[in-house]
Chain A
Amino acid sequence: MTQQVPLLNLTGITKAFPGCVANDDIDLIIQPGEIHALLGENGAGKSTLVKIIYGILKADKGTIEWNGEQVSIDNPSIARQLGIAMVFQHFSLFDALTVVENIALGMENSVDLTELEKRILEISTNYGLPLDPKRHVYTLSVGERQRIEIIRCLLQSPRLLVMDEPTSVLTPQEVEKLFATLRRLSTEGVSILYISHKLDEIRVLCQTATILRLGKRVSDADPRKETARSLAAMMMGEELQSPARPPKVTHADKARLEVKDLSLEAIDDFGVDLKNVALHVNAGEILGIAGVAGNGQNELLDALSGERSCDSSNSITMDGNPCATLAPDARRRLGFGCVPEERLGHGAVPDMSLAENTYLTAYAQMNLTNNGMIQTTARDEFSDRIIKEYRVKCTGRQASAASLSGGNLQKFIVGREILQNPGVLVVSQPTWGVDAGAAAAIQEALIALAENGSAVLVISQDLDELMQISNRICAICAGVVSESIPTEQATVEQIGLLMGGATNQASVS
């Protein structure tokens, strides 16, 4: 194997940004036809390295050899010409245009659209990636959108296919299909650079792995020979702490949040209708709702938080109070708390200070308003309390929300809601895009809240996280929520099937 000329040979790649060294003297070798994993935590430098390979960034130091020859990849166009194709984590797709138009836009030269349609159908049937070229992208699910990106890459007959966190948007069954496609490509001689932090997947799929930590390459490994634990240890460089465990349920009979027969029409063609959603969360427990993005999570959250009003006020009750027609502030007064998926622009106002963002949801609850006037001292006190107790790294309460890192802002928002003592807390994607330290802190805070007697509902795409912290787990698919299963009895396959829409759903009338 070492006799071959490697397809891609990176030597001493270094790239620094103001304030941090993203890549520090990194070597990487990828052989033809190899499925190579790039492992590391959030912030380890994987994205930067890959952007250098694809020509979006230029390294400060180091050399790149392609097929034994030194090359300079100045922009994505050159990368594509060499035969490097990339499927990003965030797709570059145009909702209002059709599949074929989207793919045409990603190609170097002008192409005849009818010709292109034929080629798309060919590849899609060939590689098991069903796709209708004439459909508009906004009608497609996330998994289908990813297929567009993949087919766009395959049309250019790449030698190296780079995939950045591809499975965060797929159900377990869709992941299987993707792996089959990737293995097929590998046998055809295409190399795959697979970036992920999902250790079990990497052990199943990849032949070699390069592990990054804090910008440096720390080791190579053969994932097939390692355990998830040993890989994690290499990634994090320390003894694994015991994972978070779900709270002990003490009041299993007292339902604090009950949802019955909740139906809500989507606002427009881009949304998903909710159909007869039924669930309940008891005091002291965490219910997890698993699901791939775009299956009605936003609509469900809007219905629960009060941002959208329902027809029948009984569809949602909190501690027995019907509240489905109440506005968000009225629900907060009943003891409801909510952390939305989007931090900037939804959970917090980007250009306002943390103090003002504290006021955003606490203005009625914590005696911060008197006769319609803002009580600045009380507000500032509460703000400081959140910052202190949740260890939010910032320049103080006057720092703007936009200036905080993702993890710190999320800690602030979660802290703001929890410190208002909600009886029911609904959280959407609690640790998305958040560094490991902050993620752990947030998960602990949620568990502590539940153990204190509150009911916590967590909506998340991260199945591992839900399996770790929730007592019961269910899935949402196309606006329908399934029956819940106690987490200790649940398997990933089971939940995966439910996420994909298999019927096991509760349509309690």
Chain B
Amino acid sequence: MIRLERRSELSRAMTYLSPVLALVLTLLAGIALFSAMGVSPSAALYTFFVEPVTTVYGLTELGVKATPLILIGVALSIGFRCNVWNIGAEGQLTLGAIFGSAVALYFYEVEGFWLLPLMLVAGIIGGMAWAAIPALLRTRFNSSEILTSLMLTYVATLLLSYLVHGPFRDPDGYNFPESRIFHDSAILPIIFDGSRLHLGFALALLVVVAGWILISRSLIGFQLRVMGNAPAAGNYAGFSQKAMIWLSLMLGGGAAGLAGVIEVSGPIGQLLPQISPGYGFTAIIVAFVGRLHPVGVLFAGLLMALSYLGGENAQINLNLPLAVTGVFQGMLLFLLLACDVLIHYRIRFGKRSAIS
């Protein structure tokens, strides 16, 4: 009989091994899935996980897709450590894109190096404003931020739809629901010639470093961790739970908003009804796979970006549906949570003694 026995101390080895183990299991599951779909597993796995990064261009695309995931993932991981569950990052990303676009469109055809920073700041503010709602509702009215932030995601998507169909629509655009294409000053500079890799990626790397310093070396990071672990102890130490909730949500909202404006001023170049293939949700997976640690998030972000590229690649070359990406991502998270059990528990074989 197999049973679980609680470890006296958390296993450090398993903390790092668990994501690796989960990934291996996901690949195995993927083989089973592809076989069931009538596709050669080896061809599919190659198309999915290897082919996209065999070219330099592929690597830069990895960076492009990873940028929003890393940005949001780092911020979410800090919030999750504090037990603040910001599930509405997708909505905050949308608001960031909207605010940033508003600035770009307002100053349409106006050149100046100041426009881009202004847009980025606007995006951050937009994301923060959207995250402020769940923060207020949680601290004032004790409402679950999971449900409120999530509801706001749906609202944000509808708001975006309204704007690109109406006030933000390109007047010369043949009535398509999209905004004007941003002019040069409103586009993020490319940092690798011949690719789409833009300044946003560098920003993401900066955020990783800043996040790491914050969470492991600063008093504020300590406060966040204590509040997430034992709120009564945090209170006892004089930390303010309300301040931590606000901080977590503002970080998450700001990062998501930044990711949003980066997407529309970088790879996309305008405001569309759909500006994200679910980055805000995938970032949740990224945060977990990254062990809620900024450096881990960096690697996990690259991995998840690969799954997006792989999905697109498989769609083009193998005619596989795009939904396979979602299944992979969900499976990885599931298997990770299962493997994480081994951090807290040991597997034991054999009969139990008669203990109820």
B218 in the interface, Cβ–Cβ < 8 Å? yes
Per-residue A-contact encoding for B1-34, CB less than 8 Å = 1, 0 else? 0000000111000000000000000000000000
In the bound complex, do residue A75 and residue B233 qualify as a contact, i.e. CB atoms below 8 Å apart? no
Q: How far is the CA of A348 from the CA of B232 in the complex (A)?
A: 9
B229 in the interface, Cβ–Cβ < 8 Å? yes
Stretch of A91-99, A253-261, A287-295, A350-358 on the interface side: A350-358
B217 in the interface, Cβ–Cβ < 8 Å? yes
Per-residue A-contact encoding for B202-222, CB less than 8 Å = 1, 0 else? 000000000000000111101
Q: How far is the CA of A400 from the CA of B10 in the complex (A)?
A: 9
The residue in chain B whose Cβ has the minimal distance to the Cβ of A359 is: B222
Mark out the residues of chain B between 307 and 354 whose CB falls within 8 Å of any chain A CB in the assembled complex. 353-354
Q: Chain A, interface size: which category?
A: 35 or more
In the bound complex, do residue A349 and residue B218 qualify as a contact, i.e. CB atoms below 8 Å apart? no
Q: How far is the CA of A338 from the CA of B237 in the complex (A)?
A: 10
Cross-chain contact of B235 among A56, A328, A330 (Cβ < 8 A): A328
B174 in the interface, Cβ–Cβ < 8 Å? no
In the bound complex, do residue A328 and residue B354 qualify as a contact, i.e. CB atoms below 8 Å apart? no
Q: Which residues of B contact A1 (CB under 8 A)?
A: none
Q: How far is the CA of A344 from the CA of B232 in the complex (A)?
A: 10
Q: How far is the CA of A19 from the CA of B173 in the complex (A)?
A: 78
A403 in the interface, Cβ–Cβ < 8 Å? yes
Beyond A350-B229, A400-B9, whether A374 also contacts B236 by CB under 8 A is: no
Cross-chain contact of A348 among B218, B233, B355 (Cβ < 8 A): B233
The residue in chain A whose Cβ has the minimal distance to the Cβ of B354 is: A58
In the bound complex, do residue A345 and residue B233 qualify as a contact, i.e. CB atoms below 8 Å apart? yes
Q: How far is the CA of A332 from the CA of B226 in the complex (A)?
A: 18
Beyond A57-B354, A74-B354, whether A349 also contacts B233 by CB under 8 A is: yes
Q: How far is the CA of A154 from the CA of B140 in the complex (A)?
A: 48
Mark out the residues of chain A between 308 and 365 whose CB falls within 8 Å of any chain B CB in the assembled complex. 327-330, 332, 338, 340, 342, 344-352, 356, 359-361, 363
Cross-chain contact of A361 among B10, B225, B236 (Cβ < 8 A): B236
Q: Which residues of B contact A359 (CB under 8 A)?
A: 222
Tell me, rounded to whole Å, the shortest Cβ–Cβ distance linking A361 to chain B. Answer: 6
B112 in the interface, Cβ–Cβ < 8 Å? no
Cross-chain contact of A328 among B222, B238, B353 (Cβ < 8 A): B238
In the bound complex, do residue A346 and residue B233 qualify as a contact, i.e. CB atoms below 8 Å apart? yes
Q: How far is the CA of A359 from the CA of B238 in the complex (A)?
A: 12
Tell me, rounded to whole Å, the shortest Cβ–Cβ distance linking A116 to chain B. Answer: 26
Q: How far is the CA of A351 from the CA of B230 in the complex (A)?
A: 9
Q: How far is the CA of A347 from the CA of B355 in the complex (A)?
A: 31
Cross-chain contact of B219 among A75, A340, A369 (Cβ < 8 A): A369
Q: Which residues of B contact A470 (CB under 8 A)?
A: none
A306 in the interface, Cβ–Cβ < 8 Å? yes
In the bound complex, do residue A363 and residue B219 qualify as a contact, i.e. CB atoms below 8 Å apart? yes
B55 in the interface, Cβ–Cβ < 8 Å? no
Tell me, rounded to whole Å, the shortest Cβ–Cβ distance linking B23 to chain A. Answer: 25
Q: Which residues of B contact A372 (CB under 8 A)?
A: 218-220
B356 in the interface, Cβ–Cβ < 8 Å? yes
Per-residue B-contact encoding for A399-413, CB less than 8 Å = 1, 0 else? 110010000000000
A residues whose Cβ falls under 8 Å from a Cβ of B: 56-58, 74-76, 305-307, 327-330, 332, 338, 340, 342, 344-352, 356, 359-361, 363, 369, 372-374, 399-400, 403
16 contacts across the A-B interface (CB closer than 8 A): A56-B355, A56-B356, A58-B353, A327-B240, A328-B238, A345-B230, A347-B233, A349-B230, A350-B230, A352-B225, A356-B222, A360-B226, A363-B237, A372-B219, A372-B220, A373-B219
User: What 18 new A-B contacts, CB under 8 Å, besides A56-B356, A305-B236, A372-B219?
Assistant: A74-B354, A307-B235, A328-B236, A329-B237, A340-B232, A346-B233, A348-B233, A349-B226, A349-B230, A350-B230, A351-B229, A352-B225, A361-B237, A363-B219, A363-B237, A374-B219, A400-B9, A403-B9
